[in-house]
Structure 1
């Protein structure tokens, strides 16, 4: 198999293909699963919050696109910051993005558990969570990969359910109060009609976009990648944002209010209202399938990142660099991710989502700053100041504003994680006197043999991007 490492992939994909990939990666039903949380955080302005989140993501998407032209690598914010600002800043951005990796599986499993608990309340939520974690962990331990054909079936099922959800919602609204209800401003301005709650909702809503930059993983298979990958990044953010805003608007008309009861399962409640028991059952099946597939992918990605960091010596190699001799999987890292996922029993969906968004907003902000830093380093090239200074500056300001509007617990945990990373970097660099280690790179490289990995010998590392952007499935 080692002889295949440098084989080039056939460049067959165009813009349309990579946009569809990016939308599927984000998960088409995630806005429905997160609606109640966003509605409560925004005091009834779910559509307004989604609009602000979309604007923030679009500015950052433009910066990602700009950097992808200059550094057509993994599309990692960590890579962009390291190359334009410096290795130590890059390490800290990678460390913050690691927080995403640590908590993404937890949130995915929690969303699925919340919806199953709402449908079957006689079974405790903790039991549903344990089932999600146990089954997903078992699958990842033995290294079973979900077939692409099965993934396409699940994604197609989700798209059909989303289309039906839209049609039934629109029909229900018109039948209930006429077409005039479609110009009701409350889903955008909320109950309080204040920017603060809307911004707080937007800080939570940004979660549904995580992974929008995943199209960068298709660079080797995309025709004219230097042009089409940046276009794909922006289009995924734009099209995804439009879908999310429209769905949030319709759902807020059907289930208005600033404090919904059982917000975690509001999507199922609306599905029951617009389509009855049969449609509600299909919706629940599609959502659980999405969360199950996403959980497999997210846990595998998290374990693989931790493995690479262990093999690089950033984390203790004996634990994080261990590979199961029987299954050739990073079994200890997989189990660790599962144990962390069980912590969802003690967390709300809004709080755990905010943990992820803390790392994401730090990464997004620094990608915008990286564009400005690139301009400073390459002033002689007479780059467009509007594209390299004004737009990324606006993006950084919006991202920082949303970061500040995360809940206090998320900021406390995120800030503590950031401080821990700074201390760890000081240790690794002997008081910042040495070069920062690289958190690095290719998630598609195959595992070493157990004998190689567990021998403790120094190896050339297989690198993993610290951005939550692989494998090719949704991570919500």
Structure 2
């Protein structure tokens, strides 16, 4: 190992393929597809599974690009690392800065949504109690180590999948009791739906896939990362997408169309219809568990991105230090928890309006990184997978980016502008590249 300064901190390799895939699925929180079911159903005129199927196909192109870059650069840092190594260090910094908007604030949004669910069910308990409980528990688990967090995620995901299984089973029973067929094309396409409505729903559904890329932040804690991480990325996208499509299909069968008393709580309405009040309570518990598991994964990802940037010196060096006992990036974990306290003064719609700017910016540049790698050295690289696929990924991601709402674009551009100022400061007016450490493993 070589470095331009003293020997850097090193994360411990403890995770195998199942643990990494579990982390990605926990981040995606499959059950949350029901939390937005009513909104997507209204957008697609009642063809939610088609929206998720289209989103899955679109995201697989970007997932393939993440897999290629993870194999080529098996270190922490995700899009930030890939862009700075494949394109330019300055571009890498700006992409990393944009990704921080997503990674850094996403845990706050997750905790806020979880707190909102619980506050609605238990109005006598102040919302801040739930928020602080979420923040303290997830922060503690992440500081203790990735293996502790992995075990917690296993239990939480098991319960989440159990709730999903019950929801599907009750939906099937409801459909059969109504005398309807289980095999139908209606949930995918009908006379009232169009390609335009389905595409609009896919743009919303794509947000549910934000998480397959997060597994790349665990590269330095994964055994055989050049083989494990690319497989984990594709498996996470495929398994998560498969769950989304199947769950949306049976839910749409149980409740055809898009008419709900309240679109934002449509899943509770459906849960009550197919399983009564008792199952509705179990469903609420499942949603809260999904938020908790997703919060663990999101906070872990954010801290590891900050660890990579701190180790390189583009963030203060304290971010690049590990806890002496637990070997975790404790400063980034604690800071993410502290930022989560801002949720006490925000609502869900405001806090979620700007995080996707960073995600789609990162997706676009990871695809461009694959193209840059292919242009630099085409030896042994197939044109289809190294040129055509990433080009499709770029087009899809740019389409998603420019179709974000106005608030998201304004917040994102302001954040990017701040990043340019920071970059100018640390590069002395762009006259030198950002500081960098190099590692030969």
TM-score (norm 1): 0.76
Query: What per-residue deviation string (whole Å, max 9, x for no partner) do you get for residues 7-32 of structure 1?
Result: 97478x45x66545533443231222
CA contact (8 A) 1:200 1:406 kept: no
Query: What per-residue deviation string (whole Å, max 9, x for no partner) do you get for residues 77-133 of structure 1?
Result: 11111111100111111011001123212321232234334434x459xx33x2232
SS in 1 for 2:433: coil
CA contact (8 A) 2:28 2:294 kept: no
Give the equivalent residue in structure 1 for 2:385. 387
Shift in Å, 1:53: 1.6
SS in 2 for 1:182: coil
Cα distance in 2, alignment partners of residues 271 and 236 from structure 1: 26
SS in 2 for 1:435: coil
Change (3 A) 1:307 1:212: closer
SS in 2 for 1:183: coil
Cα distance in 1, alignment partners of residues 228 and 317 from structure 2: 39
Q: Where do 1:4-19 residues align within 5 Å?
A: 9=13, 13=16, 18-19=20-21
Give the equivalent residue in structure 1 for 2:235. 235
Q: Where do 1:162-181 residues align within 5 Å?
A: 162-179=164-181
CA contact (8 A) 1:65 1:230 kept: yes
Change (3 A) 1:259 1:70: same
Change (3 A) 1:289 1:8: closer
CA contact (8 A) 2:60 2:234 kept: yes
SS in 2 for 1:434: coil
Deviates most, 137-146 or 392-401: 137-146
Shift in Å, 1:249: 2.5
Cα distance in 1, alignment partners of residues 322 and 76 from structure 2: 24
Gaps of 5+ in 2: 1-6
CA contact (8 A) 2:80 2:92 kept: yes
CA contact (8 A) 1:299 1:337 kept: no
Change (3 A) 1:150 1:85: closer
CA contact (8 A) 2:71 2:226 kept: yes
Give the equivalent residue in structure 1 for 2:115. 113
Query: What per-residue deviation string (whole Å, max 9, x for no partner) do you get for residues 209-261 of structure 1?
Result: 222134442676546x5344323321221222121112123323434555744
SS in 1 for 2:346: helix
Give the equivalent residue in structure 2 for 1:403. 401
1:67 equivalent to 2:66? Answer: no
Cα distance in 2, alignment partners of residues 268 and 440 from structure 1: 51
Give the equivalent residue in structure 1 for 2:91. 89
Cα distance in 1, alignment partners of residues 87 and 117 from structure 2: 43
Cα distance in 2, alignment partners of residues 387 and 335 from structure 1: 39
Q: Where do 1:348-427 residues align within 5 Å?
A: 348=349, 352-379=351-378, 381=379, 383-427=381-425
Shift in Å, 1:431: 1.9
Cα distance in 1, alignment partners of residues 299 and 82 from structure 2: 25
C-alpha RMSD of matched pairs (Å): 3.7
Shift in Å, 1:141: 6.5
Cα distance in 1, alignment partners of residues 366 and 283 from structure 2: 36
CA contact (8 A) 2:44 2:198 kept: yes
Change (3 A) 1:438 1:256: farther
Cα distance in 1, alignment partners of residues 271 and 438 from structure 2: 43
Change (3 A) 1:150 1:220: closer
Cα distance in 1, alignment partners of residues 343 and 139 from structure 2: 15
Shift in Å, 1:312: 6.5
Q: Where do 1:8-407 residues align within 5 Å?
A: 9=13, 13=16, 18-74=20-76, 76-120=78-122, 122-123=123-124, 127-128=126-127, 130-139=128-137, 148-179=150-181, 182-185=184-187, 187-188=188-189, 193-195=194-196, 197-216=197-216, 217=218, 221-222=222-223, 225-258=225-258, 260-299=260-299, 301-302=301-302, 314=314, 330=331, 333-334=335-336, 336-345=338-347, 347-348=348-349, 352-379=351-378, 381=379, 383-407=381-405
Gaps of 5+ in 1: 442-476
Change (3 A) 1:340 1:437: farther
